[in-house]
Amino acid sequence: MIEYYTPEQEIEVQQDMEELASYETFDGYQNASELTAIYPESCAIEYLALGLVSEAGEVAGKVKKALRDGTWNSEAVADELGDVLWYVSQLATELDIYLSDIAKMNLEKLQDRKERGVLGGSGDKR
Ligand SMILES: [Mg+2]
């Protein structure tokens, strides 16, 4: 079905699309990245978790090659980090969590650990 918009509605739709495409905020990125999401809904979480681990492995592969060759390809690493970000974003979307909330929670956790002097060490609940 084709929908026709009034000129005012077209402007509003265009503004919404520009907002969605904004990469300046976590949530703007999250909204925009959703526009390129193609995977089976029946196994979305599993698909995205596997994709996340796969892309993290690609980051590790670039680091490994840098160690071997003695030169960094920062652009290639950034490309893979972008792929990691996409999977993190989509996983958050599927779990109905804003990327900005994840970023905030993570920084609060790390700040709390820093204040308690437990940034080093191990354990999820330290
Ligand atoms: Mg990749």
CA dihedral 35→36→38→43, nearest 10 degrees, is -70
**Is residue 124 in some structural domain?**
no
Q: Which of 94, 101, 77 is nearest to 43 (CA)?
A: 94
Look at the chain and report how many structural domains it folds into: 1
* Single-letter residue type at 83: D
Ligand 1 centroid to residue 112 C-alpha, Å: 33
pTM: 0.78
Residues ≥6 apart with Cβ < 8 Å to 27: 98, 99, 100
Domain range for 81 is 40-108
**Is residue 74 in some structural domain?**
yes
Ligand 1 centroid to residue 57 C-alpha, Å: 9
**Is residue 53 in some structural domain?**
yes
> Digits of tens for pLDDT over the chain (126 positions)?
445 678 888 788 777 766 666 667 899 899 989 989 999 999 999 999 999 999 999 999 999 999 999 999 999 999 999 999 999 999 999 999 999 999 999 999 999 999 999 988 888 887
**Is residue 95 in some structural domain?**
yes
Task: Measure the CA–CA gap between 108 and 105, rounded to whole angstroms.
Answer: 5
**Is residue 11 in some structural domain?**
no
Q: What is the CATH number of the domain that holds 98?
A: 1.10.287
**Is residue 50 in some structural domain?**
yes
Ligand 1 centroid to residue 76 C-alpha, Å: 9
